[in-house]
Structure 1
């Protein structure tokens, strides 16, 4: 069994827009039920979730946006991009859509950091989170192993590196971080590149990459929020990812009480693209165990 993809051209037509602090943000919403917020990674966009979108919308009210500086959303040049602001954006979108229930999170990569900030805000009673599932991402700065392109973007010459970034550069980077048997097709690479390049996105890549030092600054607050046990957590991790694979999962098991982890052999940094059926299975199993027994009986 395979999950049907949503072509990027179709995905884009289904998007809507709202304005956040004067900037146009593209978002997607579908389905009914408990709200599920999908938070994408760097340097791609919410289309990353397209394999999971339809099956998840059959059970939940699924919400996603291209964060500021990503995909089809605004990419202002004179702007200091910040993970805390991206969390503000997610909360603004939920308010705009009238979401009042506890929201569940499914996050990846850069989105993991945004989700960690939302977990910290849950502890601070600023938002109510029902659960959180992380895919591959830098949950702990000490285990993050950036690829060469990320290191170059973080250097003093990052602004030049970003402007020179091309589809070929994307291919080289993705070749390193995807599993050896699950690399994206040429068509998928075209679509990923279209999202990065849209609105002249390469001009700001050196600004977006500042999330790496921001993670270090927030590390203790975010890890404490995960350790608090206030929200059910699971990690679904592609284990051959050189950036945040098996080594990150091991650190998670060391630091988080009663860790709930799933390791995907042979899968790299983008499990929702490389192994969407496995991710869906493990996500739904996690959510099913959260439901009260009475509710399960009533629905069976």
Structure 2
């Protein structure tokens, strides 16, 4: 993975919904549009290991840091909502003149993608999902996530360090990642006083419950090509989700990254070669 500084240097900022949002585009201007939406608590930099393969497949890849993440604004005291994040994505599409795009989502980005499909699925040409809470009743947050979400989470989270952050993320992985990659993930989260917004960002877990029926219907009724690239040993949204996916979306293609050692919650960071091998032909078709 290239450094976070290099990743940010290759992008730009736009003012969307009144906030400064980081984004970048890679690949040929006339390539097939693809939008990648990252997860919590990191940033678009997670996608860096697979972007070259998508570019080689002929894709025009758009990535962004959602509000409160990475190099985008992290306003204090803000009422972070998935609906606003979806509006930011739509605003970026308008800013860049993107009328239709394939969409790839991971973790927190899964809820953003479900909201986008619920609003206008015709705008999404094909849909790829990586580990995330597609079904709120199957979502298993870690203890640290429950602590952050608790009434005292806003106070406790201020004591988070790079060491405790790394320990929490490591519990979600099936394959090891380098100390350098952990450090860059920490930097993306903690920059611009980002630790202080972790508590309000975590409210998305409640939003998943409140919007469960609408969001589930959105992805289950989506008529376009659908791909799941899944890390089975993810303790949050892993193997236990697969039977539901196979039952509800029998037409979808499912790639389970179970080669030893099996992949966990961050497939594109842990096992980028396999993820790229699954996504490139699907998105480049």
Which TM-score applies when normalising by structure 2?
A: 0.94
Runs of 4+ in 1 over 6 A off after TM superposition: none
Counting matched residue pairs gives 279
The equivalent of 2:231 in structure 1 is: 238
How do 1:160-239 residues align onto structure 2 when only pairs under 5 Å count? 160-179=155-174, 182-239=175-232
Q: What's the CA shift for 1:284?
A: 2.3
Q: What's the CA shift for 1:278?
A: 0.6
SS in 1 for 2:103: strand
Residues 230, 256 of structure 2: 8 Å contact kept: yes
Separation in structure 2 between the aligned mates of residue 190 and residue 116 of structure 1, nearest angstrom = 30
Note the residue ranges of structure 2 that are not aligned, 5 or more in a row.
Answer: none
How do 1:78-93 residues align onto structure 2 when only pairs under 5 Å count? 78-93=77-92
The equivalent of 2:13 in structure 1 is: 17
Q: What's the CA shift for 1:34?
A: 1.5
Separation in structure 1 between the aligned mates of residue 3 and residue 210 of structure 2, nearest angstrom = 38
Q: What's the CA shift for 1:90?
A: 0.4
Is residue 26 of structure 1 aligned with residue 22 of structure 2? Answer: yes
The equivalent of 2:107 in structure 1 is: 109
Counterpart of 1:147 (choices 123, 142, 146) is 142
Change (3 A) 1:39 1:229: closer
How do 1:34-49 residues align onto structure 2 when only pairs under 5 Å count? 34-49=32-47
Q: What's the CA shift for 1:253?
A: 1.6
Note the residue ranges of structure 1 that are not aligned, 5 or more in a row.
Answer: 292-300
Greater radius of gyration (CA): 1
Alignment RMSD: 1.3
Residues 162, 204 of structure 1: 8 Å contact kept: no
Residues 34, 60 of structure 2: 8 Å contact kept: yes
Deviation per CA, 1:74-93, whole angstroms, max 9, x where unpaired?
00012100011101000100
Change (3 A) 1:62 1:241: same
Separation in structure 1 between the aligned mates of residue 177 and residue 215 of structure 2, nearest angstrom = 32
Separation in structure 2 between the aligned mates of residue 103 and residue 150 of structure 1, nearest angstrom = 32
Q: What's the CA shift for 1:195?
A: 0.7
